[in-house]
Chains A and B, each alone.
Chain A
C-alpha cells in the first residue's frame, strides 16, 4: 500500500503523522491538565455558590425564627388571649413579608383558652385572620403542633402543601409556649409559615452553568426544591437511590440528612434515571435541618475544556497542514532530480546514449547518484563503441573466412563419381571445413589415360592466408604434374616454388600418389603428411611406411623420397589429414590412427563413398557435439582393375 506512494508523499505522510502524534499527545496532556484545573476551579465555584446560597436561606429562616420567637415571648410573658394573639399575628404578617402565615394554637387541654387557634394569612395583599379550630377542626393533630408540643422545643416542620393557601408548598417554624414557665405544661404553639415556592424560584435563578442546578432536601430526604417539579414532595433522595438501586446515593443522602457537608461524584439527580457523571457539593441548612445540594455535570467541565482548547487545536491543525505543505515541497526538491534522472534513464534505455543528463547541483546523495549515473553512461558508451568495432572486425573476419571457405571448396573436385565411364577405379573424397578454414585440400586428376594422381594436403595456419596458400599449392601441383616425373620430383619442384619468398612461413604437408591404372602399381611421396592406409583384399589394413620428406615451403632444395606399392584388384587407399586422426571429443581425447585402422577393418568391403560416410559418422559419434577445430578431409581410392572401358571420359572429373 505505502510502497505505491511516491517517496515525496510518503515522506510528507510520515512527517505529518509523526508530528500529529506528538501534537496529539501534547494536546491530550494539556487537555487533562486543563480539565483537572477546571474541575478544581469548578469545585471552588460550586462551594462558593453553595455557601452563599445556604447563607441566604439561613438568613431568611433566621428572620422567620426571630419573628416567631418574638411572638412566642409576647404570648408567654403577656399571656395573650386568643383575640390579642390574633391582632398581634395580623401585625406580624403586615410587617414581615417573608411570612405567609402565622398562628398561635392554644393547647385545647388547658380550659382557660379552649380549642382555639387564631391564624393570620395573606389573601393577595390583604392579611386575613381565621380560627384553625373552628367547627372542631383538630389543629392539634398536625405536625406543626405535635412536634414542638411533644418535643418541648421549637421545630421546623417537614414541608407540606398548605391546602388553605392554593397548594402552596409551606414549611412552618413552630415554638412551644409554657404556662408560667413550666416546661411540663405547654400553653400554646406559636408558628410562622414560610413559602418554599419562593425559595425554589430563588434556587432555580442561580447561575450554575448549562447543566448545573441546585436542589434542597428536607430532613427526611424529600425534595423541597428541584428543577424537575415532579420530584418536589414526591421523591426523596432515598427513593431515587432505591429506584436506581444505588447504595452510594443512599449513603450520600444519609450524609446530607445528618447535617454534613461534602463533595461527591455520582450519577446526577436530574431525573430518576442516572444522568451521567456529575459532581455534587452539599451543605446543611442548620436551622431547618435541610440540606442544599448543587450538582453539575462533568460533561460541562469537559465542554469548557474543549471550548478552551479549540483555538489551540485549530492552530495545531493549521500547523500540521503547513507542515504537510513544507514536507511536500522539501520532498519535491529531493524527488525532482530523481524524477529527471529517471526520465533520462528511460531515454537512455531506448539507446539514446547522448541524451543529456540532468544538471546535478550541490553535493548531496542525488547529485552523487547523478554523477555515478553519468559515469555509468560514459562507460556504457565506450563499451558500445568497442562492441561496435569488434563486431565489425569479426564480421570482416567472418566474411574473409566465408570467402576462404568458398575458395577452398571451389578448388577441390566435388563431383562423384568423377569418371562415370571408367570402371577400373573408384574415387570418393570428403572435405568438411572447420568454422575457421584450416586450409586442407585434396585433389585427384588423370595425368594421362593410365595414370591417376591422388593428393591430399594440409596448409598450416587458417583463414584467408591458408586458403590462398592452398590455392597456390594446388595450382603449382597441377602445373608440375603436367611436366611429367614421379611424385617425388613433383614435390621437389613444389617445395622449391613454395619455399621461395615464403615470408609468411606457411607450410604445407602433402601426400601425393600416382596410380598406374593398368597394373595397380602406385608410386608415392609424402611431405610430412599423415601416412595413409591400404585396405587389402583380404580385409587387412596396413599403414604405408614412412618416407623421407618434411612439409613443403620450409626449405628449398629438399629431396623427397619416393616409395611404391601395388594394389590388387579391389584394394583401396585411404588418405586423410590430421583433422581426422586428431578429432577431439569433450574429454580432449583424439580419434587416433588406430581407431581409423579399426574403422577401416570394420567396413573394408564398402564402396568408397560409403566408407567415407561411415568414417565421418564414426568421427561425429566420437566428437559427440564438440565443435570441429580443424578441417576434416578424407580421400578413398579403390583400384578395380580390368582396364578402362571408356577412355574418352578420362578428364571429366575436374570441376
Chain B
C-alpha cells in the first residue's frame, strides 16, 4: 500500500509525485465504499428512527407525561 518508502528519493526526483496517500490508483474503489456507507447509513438510521417512533406512538403518552421523566436535580 505504501506510495512512498523513502522521502529522500521521493523529494529529490526530477518530478515529485503529488499524491502520497496509501493505495494511489484505488480512488474509484474508495469512492464506491463511501457511497455504500453513505446510502447504507440512511437505510439503517431510518429503520431505527421508524422503530423508535412506532414505539412511542403505540404507547400514546400524554403531552405532559415527559415531565415525570425529568432527571435534573
Q: Are chains A and B native binding partners rather than an unrelated pairing?
A: no
Task: List the interface of chain B (C-beta within 8 A of A).
Answer: none
